Amino acid sequence: KTEVREKLSAMYNTTPDVVFCFGFRTQFGGGKTSGFALIYDTLDFAKKFEPKYRLCRNGLGEKGRTGSQAAQRTQEPNEEGS
């Protein structure tokens, strides 16, 4: 993905941080891969319109809460008599 981002940014005279590549599918047998890419005018537009998970994949967004609530909670001992 990073090679594709760099080549697309060179083709369209922009920086790689405003190019978002996703949805790559490899053809059976290899040798050919197709995918999608979005190129934004500015980084502000990219942050406004791109989904948060794609921003995180490109290193622009902060990672959200991970794990379930049960894993994050510490188990407290029972206060009952036994």
Per domain, the residue ranges of the chain are 2-60
Mind spelling out the 3-state secondary structure of 12-81?
Answer: CCCCHHHEEEEEEEECCCCCCEEEEEEECCCHHHHHHHCCHHHHHHCCCCCCCCCCCHHHHCCCCCCCCC
Domain 2-60, second-level architecture: 2-Layer Sandwich (3.30)
Give SS3 for 10.
helix
Tell me what pLDDT residue 22 has. Answer: 94
From first to last of the 82 residues of the chain, give the pLDDT tens digit: 899 999 999 999 999 999 999 999 999 998 999 999 999 999 999 999 999 999 998 888 777 666 666 666 666 666 776 5
